[in-house]
Structure 1
Amino acid sequence: MNASEHYRALHRIAEEGFCEFETKKYILGAIENMGCAIYEVGKTGVLAYFDFGKSTTSAFRAEMDALPITEKTGLPFASENVGCMHACGHDAHMAMLLSLAERLSKGCDVLCNVLLIFQPAEEKRGGAETVVSSPDFLRIAPERIFAIHLRPQLEKGKLFSGIGAIYAGSSEIVATFCGEQAHITENIKNDALENAARFYIGTKYQAKEEGLLIRFGRLCAGTAGNVTPCLAELCGTMRYFSEPEKISETEILLRKAKKYGGEVHIFEYAPPARNSGELFELSGCSRLSEPILCADDFSVYGRVCPHPLYMLLGTGDTPPLHSDEFAFDESILRFGEEKLFYIVRNEKISKVI
């Protein structure tokens, strides 16, 4: 099967993080006769290790999970799981790795051992940690790790990357406010919803030139329109490139919440994705004009793997990621597949340790 066929099959069986059971079954079926060692990670993750007897190993990561979105693409191979959709390109990422696996299984001339990582739950906290803490990953201990992610609005079919942090770090923000529950006509002194709204208005913040974003996407409060709520909760995200800046903004959030009688809890999703300069120079990718405030837990691998490289494959003028209409021209998959194959056959890359 080629990358497009894998992509369409995986798109149909979209599943949320840590529940990718059909996706795992599909991957295992695709690689079972390819001559690689297969290891299961957690409940749904899969590692495929091609040991060619080389002195170093390159790893390649693809995410398995989809999003809780009802698809509106109208594609003939649209998701068959209502309310769940591959709207972030993870199906394409897996398809490219499966195509690489097929090439590797045919005994092509590669210059390193190859570890393919099919990672669960990139959209949730804990997916990458499941892999990097697994005994099999730690035993194989790849010196280099790569990932390709689709990216709308970048030139179609072209691969981009950069040196240092190209994707932001991300922390989840949960702000809670308590108040008095009463009939809406009562003159209460502590209104949880009003306090949450005041906090929200004074906190929504983006400074692109500083590489910082604080924004909320969900507000939950109350049970009825004529009852003041006893609890209001705001959920959002902080994106950053600087750890000191993250700490400073966290302290500001805590003070603002306290001002309105609330509390803030910060949960780290992933640090900034920092690329190896040496790998970027050897990769043949075009340089990104500026870092992007999106986040990806690929950055977690950088804690245990000395040389990471995160690459973006342009889809051109398509709907944005996480859109219920996200779709792209499948012909771009061959550019990603060829880049992966180039990496495993590049002598200089195989010597980066």
Structure 2
Amino acid sequence: MPVINRIAEFHPEMTAWRRDFHENPEIGFEEVRTSGIVAAKLREFGCDEVHTGIAKTGVVGVIRGNGASGRAIGFRADMDALPIEEQTGLPYASKVPGKMHACGHDGHTTMLLGAAKYLAETRNFDGTIYLVFQPAEENLAGGEVMVKEGLFDRFPMDRIFGMHNWPGAPAGTFLHAPGPVMAAVANLEATITGTGAHGAMPHNGVDPILAAAHVVTALQSVVARNVNPLEAGVITIGHFTGGHTFNVIPESVKLQGTARWFLPEVGDLLERRFHEIVTGIAAAMGCTATASFTRSYPATVNEAESTELAARAARVVVGEARTRPLPQPTMGGEDFAFMLNEKAGAYLFLGGGRGEGEAMVHHPKYDFNDEILPVGASWFATLAEQLMPRGQ
């Protein structure tokens, strides 16, 4: 793959960093070891400033180029792992029980470190680069915390860019699109309460399991019959728990799930219908219910000009044929959305080259493809040199 020669030279070094992060995963807001290594390496590379303790374990490095322009851009990588037991059997598999880098954040961190090493050495740009190493992307909204703690006030940048590995796309292929690329997210919870009874004498109780089963089925009608067929929405119940044994009707049942959407009005519709269906069906079957629809991440929406600038850099690194429009947005969520709500920017996907039948992200057998490390690092570096050229 046509990457920056200097970055290609330290590809083995980057691979070693990535595999060390992989062996020692830390989940959201616990990335003490990871952020410590990141900060130490940024200092070792010669960054002008290294700031720690942002959003607990976040790190921001500052590199100033050659020239006096006031231009500034930001690059973001996430650092956290997931609460998953690894099943890869790799020599560098997680050494921490119940925790694993199953989404490739170890690779994201490494690619941005590789770009930092190159940019601090060469400084072939006129402006300031802010290297944002973010904690707690997985469900804990570390990006939102960084924004609330003044990320863009302390580090005033014109644009911010991020990238996620995409294992199902060919290795080294960049995917891009203006507008929404990842969905807004809400966490759903409902508790349906009836009256417990012996399973052989159901007429003596009010069965919350039956009511909850009707709720799960009815919720599938929301997207099928309430959302405009030309728009996107998802309601999924992923957890259903109630009862403890064969022959007892329990007092209550708990449901948990997720909702996804792009347009704000679709999110409002999903929220309204979720409450109506849970409480209405429960009441119709003699139960009571509580329902909560907790919005966690907004949609990730790329600004058009920033997207084209990001794609232009990708074309330099991997060529026109390997820089492709994203076929369609994904219903996955991403807290980089909070940064894009405040700043112009774009979020691209970098193909990881995993084939059909191989593990994808959030799977206990997933492993990041180390061959794309210099590709991602070269993209960050090229973007900096293109957006802040010397002498212009």
**Same fold per superposition (TM over 0.5):** yes
Alignment pair present for 1:299 and 2:358? no
Cα displacement (A) at 1:147: 0.8
User: How much does 1:138 deviate?
Assistant: 1.8
Q: CA deviation at 1:27?
A: 1.4
- Seen in structure 2, the aligned counterparts of structure 1 residues 349 and 110 have a Cα distance that, compared at 3 Å, is closer
CA distance in 1, matches of 2:325, 2:376: 16
What CA distance in whole angstroms lies between the structure 2 residues aligned with 1:194 and 1:64? Answer: 43
Among residues 249, 261, 275, which one is paired with 1:240 in the alignment? 261
For residues 33-74 of structure 1, give each alpha carbon's deviation from its aligned partner in whole angstroms, at most 9, with x where no partner exists. 323312221321111122345412211111111111111111
Question: Aligned partner of 1:309: which letter?
Answer: A
CA contact (8 A) 1:111 1:346 kept: no
- Aligned partners of 1:102 and 1:348: how far apart in 2? 18
Counterpart contact for 1:159–1:336, Cα < 8 Å: no
Bigger Cα displacement from structure 2, 330-339 vs 24-33: 24-33
Q: Aligned partners of 1:252 and 1:62: how far apart in 2?
A: 36
2:42 matched to 1:15? no
Alignment correspondent of 2:274: 253
Name 1:32's counterpart in structure 2: 43
Displacement of 1:185 after TM fit? Answer: 2.8
Structure 1 pair 225/116, CA: closer, same or farther in 2 (3 Å)? Answer: farther
Q: One-letter code of the match for 1:43?
A: K
Over 3 Å counting, the alpha-carbon distance change for 1:42 and 1:280 in structure 2 is closer
For residues 126-275 of structure 1, the aligned pairs below 5 Å read 126-135=141-150, 137-187=152-202, 188-204=204-220, 210-261=231-282, 262-275=289-302
Structure-1 separation of matches of 2:273 and 2:121: 56
Q: Distance in 1 between matches of 2:148 and 2:378?
A: 30
Residue of structure 1 equivalent to 2:3: none
Q: 1:65: which partner in 2?
A: 80
Deviation at 1:140, TM superposition (A): 1.4
Q: In 2 relative to 1, CA 95–31 (structure 1 residues): closer, same or farther, beyond 3 Å? A: same
Contact 2:176–2:324 under 8 Å retained in 1: yes
SS in 2 for 1:239: strand
Greater Rg over alpha carbons, structure: 2
Partner secondary structure for residue 155 of structure 1: coil
Q: Secondary structure at the match of 1:345?
A: helix
- 8 Å Cα contact 2:125-2:389 kept in structure 1: no
1:3-25 CA distances to partner (integer Å, 9 max, x unpaired)? 21221111111111111122122
1:286 corresponds to which letter in structure 2?
A: R
**Percent of pairs identical after alignment?**
29
Instruction: Tell me, yes or no, if the aligned pair for 1:128 and 1:297 is still in contact at 8 Å.
Output: yes
Partner amino acid for 1:51?
R
Name the CA distance, whole Å, in 2 between partners of 1:23 and 1:45: 10
Partner AA of 2:326 in structure 1: L
Return the alpha-carbon distance in structure 2 between the equivalents of residues 210 and 136 of structure 1: 33
**CA shift for structure 1 position 224:** 3.5
Q: Does 1:278 align with 2:296?
A: no
Query: More deviation in 317-326 or 133-142?
Result: 133-142
CA distance in 2, matches of 1:157, 1:139: 34
Any stretches of 5+ residues in structure 1 without a counterpart? none
* Higher share of residues assigned helix: 2
1:87-126 correspondence runs (5 A): 87-126=102-141
TM-score, structure 1 as length reference: 0.93
> 1:337 Cα shift?
1.1
What does residue 315 of structure 1 align with? 352
